[in-house]
């Protein structure tokens, strides 16, 4: 067992770690909630698995990491990044000597940080635990990342009852599973309050709303590894076809991975009603979703966020680890298939009853208090 943490005035030391923008969005409310208890010495360690995208969220939350491992390198391989996270985060643990570590979701940072903790017998709490697609290659490598983390963790913060059931099916003890809601809704409420108080905080979206006034806006994100190649080509073809409608505009912030831009820029540049953007700050991203009529995505978190804004979501994947949205009617799987994307988007644009059925469906992902519940559970655990 590692030595107890040396937190200020004897408080248990909790390390919260993340490396990507989606993780940062979902974990900064947890950091806030832990600190608000006044009962923990909270340290934030970032791997900067995604450097540029991560920094914008840290700035939004005014969150300064206690340790920034800055591990991103160009064209990094999965095994190369994994090995760097394992060794560098392990060194951070040896320096900070925490009583507990909280990780999030399904990234390489999540899995390798959990393994580093396991090697030191440091308990791990897994935020957004229990998501499963049932296919280790879709999403890839996220499905295995979260399954391995689930083996190591002793506290599982499941966002929904469906996620909790998946953990029970893997023989996780009921006493270790806690249904909290998803912290992304906490972050969304925080962002919405900021935008309401100061609309100038969405500078990238305001001119597009004026440019596309009177048009039906389709917000797009696509960056999953399993869609690289043929899938991206299919998505680009669908967007080309949808952009031929006079009543439609498409806003698409491109992920910096060259496997995305290398397909999308040649295919979609030059269309008057397509705006290809650089990656957006989180507030601009929320502003984009709020301004949209329909969301097309292969992302995970957007399947949770968009329904809170009343936006139908078409998921450009064959499987999802978030089946609650599909069951509730807020999301629909269409795959990375041009014909299906075109058909389902057209149906939502042209059939008001179909649109309303998705837009008004109940959002199953939380009430904005998940982070407070997590902090209370960690407090009750004693570490």
Domains of the chain: 8-182+367-381 (3.40.50.2000), 203-359 (3.40.50.2000)
Residues for the chain: how many in total? 383
Non-local (6+) Cβ contacts of 292 within 8 A are 217, 218, 219, 251, 311
The two tokens of residue 53 are: 């995208």
For the stretch 154-203, pLDDT in tens is: 999 999 999 999 999 999 999 999 999 999 999 999 999 999 999 999 99
Q: How confident is the model at residue 344 (pLDDT cuts 50, 70, 90)?
A: very high
Supply the residues annotated as catalytic: 106, 128, 142, 223, 225, 255
**Percent with pLDDT over 70 in the chain:** 98
* Whether the bond into 141 is cis, omega within 30 of 0: yes
Regarding predicted confidence, which is higher, 17 or 74? 17
Q: Tell me how far apart the alpha carbons of residues 368 and 207 are, in angstroms, rounded to a whole number.
A: 30
Mean pLDDT of all residues belonging to the chain: 93
Average pLDDT over residues 131-156: 95
Establish how many alpha carbons lie within 13 A of residue 85's alpha carbon, considering only the half-sphere containing its beta carbon. 29
**Percent with pLDDT over 90 in the chain:** 83
Average pLDDT over residues 361-368: 87
Q: CA 14 → CA 11, 110, 203, distances in Å?
A: 9, 15, 36
Across 50-54, 80-84, 217-221, least confident range = 50-54
Q: Is the pLDDT of residue 342 over 70?
A: yes
pLDDT at 256: 85
Q: Is the pLDDT of residue 383 over 80?
A: no
pLDDT at 362: 81
Q: Is the pLDDT of residue 274 over 90?
A: yes
Across 6-15, 273-282, 296-305, 334-343, least confident range = 6-15
Non-local (6+) Cβ contacts of 369 within 8 A are 181, 186
pLDDT at 139: 87
Q: Which among 206, 249, 209, 255 is positioned nearest to 232, based on CA atoms?
A: 255
Average pLDDT over residues 23-44: 97
**Residue for token pair 């149906």:** 347
Non-local (6+) Cβ contacts of 100 within 8 A are 12, 13, 14, 15, 122, 123, 124, 125, 378, 381, 383
Q: Is the pLDDT of residue 1 over 60?
A: no
Establish how many alpha carbons lie within 13 A of residue 335's alpha carbon, considering only the half-sphere containing its beta carbon. 8
Contact 132, 169 (CB under 8 A): no
pLDDT at 109: 97
pTM score, two decimals? 0.86
Q: CA 298 → CA 229, 281, 317, 328, distances in Å?
A: 14, 19, 6, 18
């Amino acid at each position: 067992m590692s030595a107890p943490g040396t937190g200020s005035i004897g408080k248990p030391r909790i390390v919260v770690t993340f490396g990507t923008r989606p993780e940062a969005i979902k974990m900064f409310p947890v950091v806030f909630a832990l600190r608000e208890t006044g009962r923990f010495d909270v340290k934030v360690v970032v791997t900067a698995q995604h450097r540029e995208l991560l920094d914008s969220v840290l700035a939004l939350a005014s969150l300064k990491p206690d340790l920034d491992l800055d591990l991103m390198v160009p064209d990094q391989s999965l095994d190369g990044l994994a090995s760097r996270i394992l060794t560098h985060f392990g060194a951070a643990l040896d320096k900070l000597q925490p009583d507990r570590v909280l990780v999030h979701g399904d990234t390489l940072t999540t899995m390798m940080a959990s393994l580093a903790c396991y090697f030191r017998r440091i308990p791990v709490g897994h935020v957004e635990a229990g998501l499963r697609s049932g296919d280790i290659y879709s999403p890839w490598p996220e499905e295995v990342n979260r399954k391995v983390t689930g083996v190591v963790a002793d506290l599982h913060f499941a966002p929904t009852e469906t996620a909790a059931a998946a953990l029970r099916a893997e023989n996780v003890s009921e006493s270790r599973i806690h249904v909290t809601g998803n912290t992304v809704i906490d972050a969304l409420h925080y962002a919405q309050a900021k935008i309401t108080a100061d609309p100038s905080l969405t500078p990238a979206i305001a001119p597009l709303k004026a440019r596309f006034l009177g048009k039906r806006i389709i917000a797009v994100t696509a960056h999953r590894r399993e869609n690289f190649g043929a899938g991206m080509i299919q998505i680009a073809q669908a967007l080309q076809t949808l952009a031929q409608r006079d009543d439609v505009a498409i806003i698409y912030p491109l992920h910096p991975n060259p496997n995305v831009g290398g397909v999308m820029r040649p295919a979609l540049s030059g269309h008057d009603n397509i705006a290809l953007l650089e990656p957006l700050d989180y507030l601009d991203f929320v502003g984009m979703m709020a301004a949209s009529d329909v969301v097309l995505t292969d992302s995970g978190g957007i399947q949770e966020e968009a329904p809170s804004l009343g936006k139908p979501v078409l998921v450009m994947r064959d499987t999802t680890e978030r089946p609650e949205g599909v069951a509730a009617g807020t999301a629909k799987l269409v795959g990375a298939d041009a014909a299906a994307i075109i058909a389902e988007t057209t149906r939502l644009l042209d059939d008001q009853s179909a649109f309303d059925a998705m837009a008004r469906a109940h959002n199953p992902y939380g009430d904005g208090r998940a982070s407070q519940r997590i902090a209370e559970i960690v407090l009750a655990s004693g570490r």
